[in-house]
Amino acid sequence: MIEVVLQISGMSCPHCRQAVEKALSAVPGVQSVNVDLDQSLARVSVADSVACSALVDAVQHAGFSVLDI
């Protein structure tokens, strides 16, 4: 299990936070997601086998951008 921290652009409200949480939680191998709206960060606990690209794809599919991992 590892923790990945994503800096996300475009989140501006609680609905945005929920959309990102839902998108990341749907990625196979994700154990937990904690999105901090004020800091525009998502902390994601994932199995070692989960590729960061899968997390980025999920965020982008939800309509947001990942600025940094």
Q: What is the pLDDT of residue 11?
A: 94
CB distance 22 to 62 below 8 Å = yes
Q: What is the pLDDT of residue 53?
A: 96
Q: What is the pTM assigned to this prediction?
A: 0.93
Residue 69 has pLDDT above 90, yes or no: no
The 3 state secondary structure assigned to the chain is: CEEEEEEEECCCCHHHHHHHHHHHHCCCCEEEEEEECCCCEEEEEECCCCCHHHHHHHHHHCCCEEEEC
State which residues form the domain around 59: 2-68
CATH number of the domain to which 45 belongs:
3.30.70.100
Closest CA to 59 of 31, 20, 5: 20
| Number of domains composing the chain | 1
* pLDDT, tens digit (0-9, with 9 covering 90-100), for 4-40: 999 999 999 999 999 999 999 999 999 999 999 999 9
User: How far is C-alpha 12 from the geometric centre of its chain's CA atoms?
Assistant: 15
* pLDDT, tens digit (0-9, with 9 covering 90-100), for 44-62: 999 999 999 999 999 999 9
